[in-house]
Amino acid sequence: MINPLGAAYEALTADTELMALVTGGVSTVWNISTAQLPRIILGYDTMRIDQFIRAGKLNLDLFFVGNVVEAANTIKNLCVSILESIVYDTDETGETLRFYYETDNLITEDNPDIGHLSVIFDIRFARKLLI
């Protein structure tokens, strides 16, 4: 089975343009301080639709300094472009994995020095039908 968190992490961290913008890096651990911003934190959950298709959500939380929404949107658009352009295909399980941008929301944090943009992707797993 393809690990969507690992696949997203690998694709995002391999992009040099994105890594130049995200000085706090990409992580799956919720550890946020203003010294590590901007930073991307990934999480996901999945569900089974039927024997051939599973679906889920990838949560990409972008934390940034202050209220620099324009810079956050630049990073978000780059992440959308990276994740939607790849298709993961494995021969071992016969599954493919794709990410589809769904929505994003600005979230108000308790600390006014930290901005938070939550970006949601649909995850689609599909098994190849053997005919």
Q: CA angle 68-79-27, nearest 5°?
A: 85
Task: Quote the CA–CA distance of 110 and 99 in Å, as a whole number.
Answer: 31
Fold classification of 4-127 (topology level): STM4215-like (3.30.2000)
What DSSP string runs through 24-58? T-EESS----GGG-SEEEEEEEEEE-SSSEEEEEE
Closest CA to 13 of 2, 24, 1, 3: 24
pLDDT (average), residues 91-117: 84
pLDDT band at residue 99 using 50, 70 and 90 as cut-offs: very high
Task: Inform me whether the pLDDT recorded for 11 exceeds 60.
Answer: yes
Domain ranges of the chain: 4-127
pLDDT (average), residues 80-103: 84
Q: pTM of the predicted model, to two decimals?
A: 0.84
What DSSP string runs through 81-112? HHHHT-EEE-TTT-EEEEEEEEEEEEE--SST
pLDDT digits (tens, 9 = 90+) for 53-91: 567 899 999 999 876 778 889 999 999 999 999 887 765
pLDDT digits (tens, 9 = 90+) for 17-50: 999 999 899 998 887 776 788 999 999 887 666 6
pLDDT of residue 18: 96
The secondary structure element, H or E, covering residue 10 is helix 4-13
Q: Is 126 helix (H, G, I), strand (E, B) or coil?
A: strand
The token duo for 30 is 């919720």
pLDDT of residue 30: 81
pLDDT of residue 26: 93
For residues 53 and 120, which has the higher predicted lDDT (pLDDT)?
120
Phi then psi dihedrals of residue 51, to 5 deg: -70, -15
Task: Inform me whether the pLDDT recorded for 130 exceeds 60.
Answer: no
For residues 131 and 87, which has the higher predicted lDDT (pLDDT)?
87
Task: Quote the CA–CA distance of 104 and 124 in Å, as a whole number.
Answer: 18
